[in-house]
């Protein structure tokens, strides 16, 4: 199994040191991304590996932090979250981390990014109604270190998938 060129630079980048992935690791990761509920036995059959190999590689991927958790991919629209907003936020100097941590703890927030450019933070959040989005925006602006926000409402989601392999 060949490692895609766009993945190769990522293989040696990690918060706690380099992580090297081979074709077997990538195959296991791809399978978990397609169905994290499948058994190690089924995964081993698909990849033509021993069950023990899949188990030990999986444990190693978990221990290294490559696999952080196992999760289901939900259809937010079917759950009633019909609005997605991307909000730019500028905060007072020296208070960025505090604001990011606060906002990241809110249940409607899907992602918080510390960014370069004219704003400090990008926030992606989902809402069931315009009233919920309005309350969110007002709550953001009421934070002690909030200077300003600029909210973009998503009209059409063309792609929303964070599974890279």
Q: How confident is the model at residue 6 (pLDDT cuts 50, 70, 90)?
A: very low
pLDDT at 8: 46
Those residues whose C-beta lies under 8 Å from the C-beta of residue 141, and which sit 6 or more positions away, are 148, 149
Token duo for residue 78? 């079917």
> Do 141 and 91 contact (CB within 8 A), yes or no?
no
pLDDT at 122: 98
Q: Which helix (H) or strand (E) holds 95?
A: none
Q: How confident is the model at residue 15 (pLDDT cuts 50, 70, 90)?
A: low
Pick the CATH number of 83-153 from 1.10.260.40, 3.30.70.920, 2.40.50.140, 3.40.50.1100: 3.30.70.920
Give the start-to-end residue ranges of the domains of the chain: 8-63, 83-153
CATH 3.30.70.2190 fits 8-63, yes or no: no
pLDDT at 14: 43
pLDDT at 10: 45
């Amino acid at each position: 199994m060949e490692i895609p060129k766009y993945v190769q630079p990522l293989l040696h980048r990690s918060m706690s040191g380099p992580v090297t992935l081979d074709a077997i690791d990538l195959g296991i990761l791809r399978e978990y991304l397609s169905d994290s509920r499948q058994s190690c036995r089924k995964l081993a059959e698909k990849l033509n590996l021993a069950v023990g190999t899949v188990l030990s590689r999986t444990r190693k991927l978990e221990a290294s932090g490559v696999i952080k958790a196992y999760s289901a991919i939900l259809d937010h629209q079917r759950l009633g979250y019909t609005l997605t907003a991307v909000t730019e936020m500028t905060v007072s100097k020296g208070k960025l981390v505090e604001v990011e941590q606060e906002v990241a703890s809110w249940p409607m927030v899907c992602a918080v990014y510390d960014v370069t450019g004219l704003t400090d933070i990008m926030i992606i959040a989902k809402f069931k109604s315009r009233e919920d989005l309005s309350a969110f925006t007002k709550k953001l602006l009421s934070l002690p270190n909030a200077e300003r926000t600029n909210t973009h409402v998503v009209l059409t989601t063309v792609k929303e998938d964070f599974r890279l392999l």
